[in-house]
Amino acid sequence: MNKSILDYETVELDDENSALVIIDQTKLPSLTEIVNLKTAEEIWDAIYLLKVRGAPAIGVAAAFGIYLLSKKIETEDYTAFYQEFCRQKEYLNSARPTAVNLSWALNRMEQVCVSNKDKSVAEIKELLKQEAISIKEEDIRVCKSIGEYGLTLIKPGDGILTHCNAGQLATCKYGTATAPIYLGLERGYNLRVFADETRPLLQGARLTAYELHSAGVDVTLICDNMSATVMRNGWVNAVFVGCDRVAANGDVANKIGTSVVATVAKRYNVPFYVCAPTSTIDMNTPTGADITIEQRPASEVTDMWYKERMAPEGIKVFNPAFDVTDHDLISGIVTEYGVAREPYAESLREIFSKV
Ligand code: MRU
């Protein structure tokens, strides 16, 4: 039987060959190319170029990545080891600024060094490996739990709209925004999904439509500017999106275009849910205005996917990778501990009391 895209691991550790193994997502859906990353530069590039992408998957890749880089540090002296660990950590952390999972996972790995500084460097390396494996295993459990809570918000036969890819390819299994959809599929919900294509990098068309279609979900691809039409037509009962960073007041940074969908959903009274593992909630960032938004090259807008450049030479281009959705447009933030609702400053604090 042919292997489906869902049968591949998004991020894997090949410890024997000291490699981080990923699917090169820039080639999907036409080519499933598995790549082995061994150097710091290869791992950094893979994150920056979105070969591995989606907040939780970036976190897991960084955890395995820093473990592999620490394995190469040749010293028995803790101070020298820790200094080089921190240098490599800062380098990986600079690959992308918005998804907090990158620094979250790297900080967790650093904490392993700090809390075990009395142990030998060899023992610390082994503990780093175990921590990275735990981060991956937790991601699977967390996504499943988000799926269970998400499923309580919809009913069989519902239409769901999603933006970008917060699917299995953005995590280690289930996805976040797609988790209720996959669980609904297992339980005969017959959901109808609308996937925004998601300009300019087309994660919705290339990844979400691909993985849901491969799973047998009823999925319809739409251009980003069609979400108002499908909502006005009454075809959408709920929007589920993922996120890259949730601020303490409930403002959410997610793929560019998300705030447009949220605004339209409000207009047509469609509940708008953000699926967020607690690893994506940053209580140290007070509001959306404090989130650094990644700016990406103009060529992604003017050239990518086209046979020839399609915009005039010399034209000014604005290409932010993410936008901020204000908390008052969000009906609920679905975490692995339950659904947070307004006022988010309180409900998110309550969620964190369970972590
Ligand atoms: O630039 P990307 O493809 O990494 O952006 C991905 C998103 O915006 C996702 O919605 C988000 O990371 C959540 S993934 C579960």
> Which DSSP string corresponds to 84-102?
HHHHHHHHHHTS-SS-HHH
Peptide bond into 320 cis (omega under 30): no
- Which residue is listed with tokens 């890819």? 165
Q: Of 139, 158, 224, 244, which one is the catalytic site residue?
A: 244
The verdict on the CB of residue 254 being under 6 Å from ligand 1 is: yes
Question: What's the pLDDT band for 2 if we cut at 50, 70, 90?
Answer: confident
DSSP 103: H
Q: How far is the CA of 206 from the centre of ligand 1 (A)?
A: 13
Q: How far is the CA of 50 from the centre of ligand 1 (A)?
A: 10
Give the per-residue SS3 of 288-303. HHHCCCCECCCHHHHC
293 neighbors 259 (Cβ within 8 angstroms): no
Residues 133-172 pLDDT 10s: 999 999 999 999 999 999 999 999 999 999 999 999 999 9
Strand 245-247 relative to strand 159-162: parallel, antiparallel, unpaired? unpaired
277 neighbors 140 (Cβ within 8 angstroms): no
Atom of ligand 1 nearest to the CA of 277: 15
With 0-12 CB in 10 A as exposed, 13-18 as middle and 19+ as buried, what is 140?
middle
DSSP 320: B
Residues 237-271 pLDDT 10s: 999 999 999 999 999 999 999 999 999 999 999 99
Q: Which helix (H) or strand (E) holds 107?
A: helix 100-115
pLDDT value at 196 more than 80: yes
Q: Probe ligand 1: pick from 165, 199, 300, max atoms within 8 Å of CB?
A: 165
Percentage of the chain surpassing pLDDT 70? 100
Residues 12-62 pLDDT 10s: 999 999 999 999 999 999 999 999 999 999 999 999 999 999 999 999 999
Q: What is the mean pLDDT of residues 321-339?
A: 98
Q: How far is the CA of 187 from the centre of ligand 1 (A)?
A: 26
The verdict on the CB of residue 242 being under 6 Å from ligand 1 is: yes
Q: What is the mean pLDDT of residues 294-300?
A: 98
Joined tokens for residue 22: 């990923």
Q: Is 244 a catalytic residue?
A: yes
Question: What's the pLDDT band for 68 if we cut at 50, 70, 90?
Answer: very high
The verdict on the CB of residue 108 being under 6 Å from ligand 1 is: no
